Chains A and B, each alone.
Chain A
Amino acid sequence: MTVAEDELSLVFSALADPTRRAILERLAEGDATVSQLTEPFAMTQQAVSKHLKVLERARLITRTRTAQSRPCALDTERLDAAAGWIARHREVWADRHDRLERHLAALRDRDGETP
């Protein structure tokens, strides 16, 4: 899956907030309306709606346009992409150090001693 990096920036900044992560946790259990999502938090429906907008813009959630209650649903594709992005960066360094290790071993063999 390829996702443009600026889209990922939206995902990561959306995930940086603990309330929004808690909302995602709740949605991982099943779809919920704004009022259902507001219940566990000590904040207004309006404040929760703001967080939902951020999550929606990052495409971490989807909201039904037609229904009056507009239930929210988790959209895991972007989250997977975000985890994949970090994993790819780490993989580059892991591979690099694997090769560095071999390079160091080759240097030791050449010099016939432990550097």
Chain B
Amino acid sequence: MDYIWAFLIGGAICVVGQILIDKTKLTSARILVFFVVAGVFLGGIGLYPRLVEFAGAGASVPILGFGNHLARGVMEEINSMGFIGILTGGIKAAAAGIMAAVLFSFLAALVFEPKAK
């Protein structure tokens, strides 16, 4: 059942993205920004965590989930560190994702050449 909900909700989120791309002529790069910011605010008001609870990877794998993760990170950091947590919480939560992207992209650049299309 977990898999079905992950598939359905994850698929549905992507359909929203597709409609935005086709209807607004926004590039997929802009859609990523839009979704991550939306994820932060949906996480901030506590709505997105409920979706994650329900859909698992269906909600956490889309980039919205990354935004939600940042929101959770900043709020937890404020709880433990106080005001300075506003500055450190988001980027701390994002650290694993960013560093993984940096590391694997760097390695990819070492190994691969761009290919003609």
Q: Do A and B bind each other?
A: no
Interface residue ranges, B against A (CB under 8 Å): none
